[in-house]
Amino acid sequence: MVQLNHTHDAARSSWLASANTAGTDFPIQNLPFAVFRRKGTNEAFRGGVAVGDQVIDLAALARSACLQGLAAQAATACAQPVLNDFFALGPAAWSALRHGLFALLEAGATGANADALRACLVPQADVEFSVPARIGDYTDFYTSVHHAANIGKLFRGGDDVLTPNFRWIPIGYHGRVSSIGVSGQTFRRPMGQALPMNATVPVYGSCARLDYELELGVFIGQGNAAGEQIALDAAANHIFGICLLNDWSARDIQAWEYQPLGPFLAKNFATTISPWIVTMEALEPYRQAWVRPANEPQPLAYLDSAATRAEGALDIQLEVWLESAQRRAAGVGATRLTHTSFKHQYWTVSQMVAHHTVGGCNLQPGDLLGSGTISGPTLDQAGAMIELTASGRNPLTLDAGNGTTEQRGFLQDGDAVILKGWCEKPGHARIGFGENRGTVLPAIGVPA
């Protein structure tokens, strides 16, 4: 794992005033990566780094020759429409570029190189984003004990609501890459089969129980050869960074199709990720001890280590907001549904990577892992509407603006779901993930 260094020093500031604003997601202690271009142009997409309210154009910076050595090589790799080549360079290159940018942005930086960086800034308000990597494979995990318990109580009941394997392995399934989109994604309500309550024959139609899932997305940096395992304590060297991920779910379709092979149409219609990837180096100050209660099964040796116990958890604060069509029309913005933290997750990111490769699976630069729904120990920390509303039986009553209310058991057409995330602790700068927004459009289906 990366050691704390000067780029984590909360006392450091930038000559760019917006990077020093209280509450900004993007101080110089963050410097997350995305792929962007100016709105309304045919420019090529290329890598960028967020600082304050600006984007550093890494293609322009690479041409300026104000970085040297490995940092310059990394910037050149970022001048592509996707970041896979940059990811493949590994932790030394990732860190070299971060440190090079930090030096050019820090208060007091002067000279031709700092001036060259100033010329590479583009206002964030003027850009649009693309999916930041060529994602070869997408694996979605199921790693929140609180989410699993809530779902188990809803559908199985009894005292032991977890499946027998949950406490032993990070459960996952392979998802669909083609329908992954970046924040701002809109998608049609999916069509499919569902089995109505007390029915014996399924019906075809549009999803009636559409849901979101609050997750983090994990981008793989360097991969591994087929047949080669990534050891738990080496996994951090293979993880580039983390974004926000919304794993949209058609609950009625899912309930009918998931046995015996798991999700299919219920998950393949849309997955939304935030444009900004916060690097693992930026997240280093927010690591915490990872604890497995003594009265529960302890991980097998390949999923356990002293380093994981000491600092395997990440305290990433997360929120879900809902902007209904009614609230949008009233001009009152979104309303918050959930606030929780990733520190509650039962399995760590490194454990997910180690388990993914233990059978010899070869991960590749740009592969994406989903953390699984992130729910905390209380219901107000639930990461999906199915939990918040007891599968629709206890609808939420929400302020619709203009003195009216509306109810939600599941998502309605026109709803926009916004995910937000940030890290903060005494003695360290607050860093954020930006926004992940997706909007539900009405279904367009084929005739039954």
Look at the block and give the residue holding tokens 């964030």. Answer: 124
Instruction: Give the pLDDT means over successive 10-residue stretches in the chain (448 positions).
Output: 90 97 97 98 98 98 95 98 98 98 94 92 98 98 94 78 93 96 98 94 96 98 97 98 98 93 94 98 98 95 98 98 96 96 98 98 98 96 97 95 93 98 97 98 81
Look at the block and give the residue holding tokens 């559908």. Answer: 155
Lookup: tokens for 15: 């000559």
CA-CA-CA-CA torsion sign (307, 309, 313, 315): negative
Rounded to 10 degrees, what is the CA torsion of 437, 423, 345, 311? 150
Is 147 one of the catalytic residues?
Answer: yes
Give Cα separations from 110 to 72, 113, 188, 280 (angstroms): 19, 7, 50, 28
Task: Please tell me the predicted confidence (pLDDT) of residue 161.
Answer: 85
State how beta strands 180-182 and 271-273 pair. parallel
Peptide bond into 260 cis (omega under 30): yes
Task: Please tell me the predicted confidence (pLDDT) of residue 448.
Answer: 58
State how beta strands 138-142 and 368-370 pair. parallel
CA-nearest of 315, 320, 264, 253 to 288 is 315
Task: Please tell me the predicted confidence (pLDDT) of residue 81.
Answer: 98
Three-state DSSP class for 6? helix
Cβ contact 313:350 at 8 Å: no
Three-state DSSP class for 112? helix
- Report angle CA 436, 220, 24 to the nearest 5 degrees: 35
Task: Please tell me the predicted confidence (pLDDT) of residue 362.
Answer: 98
What is the residue type of 56? I
Give the chain's end-to-end CA distance (angstroms, integer). 54
Task: Please tell me the predicted confidence (pLDDT) of residue 171.
Answer: 96
State how beta strands 239-246 and 396-401 pair. unpaired
Identify any residues that bridge with 61 across adjacent strands, giving them in sequence order.
none
CA-CA-CA-CA torsion sign (86, 356, 344, 248): positive
d(CA 416, CA 333): 10
d(CA 133, CA 124): 19
Task: Please tell me the predicted confidence (pLDDT) of residue 65.
Answer: 87
List, in order of start, the domains of the chain with CATH numbers.
Answer: 6-130 (2.30.30.230), 138-441 (3.90.850.10)
Lookup: tokens for 48: 């960028």
Lookup: tokens for 389: 């509303």
What is the residue type of 292? R
Angle between the N-to-C axes of helices 69-77 and 91-105, in degrees from 0 to 180, rounded to the nearest 10? 100
Task: Please tell me the predicted confidence (pLDDT) of residue 1.
Answer: 63
Q: pLDDT tens digit string along 113-147?
A: 889 999 999 999 999 999 999 999 999 999 999 99
Cβ contact 315:425 at 8 Å: yes
Measured in degrees and rounded to the nearest 5, phi and psi for residue 8 equal: -100, -5
Q: Which of 8, 146, 147, 355 is catalytic?
A: 147
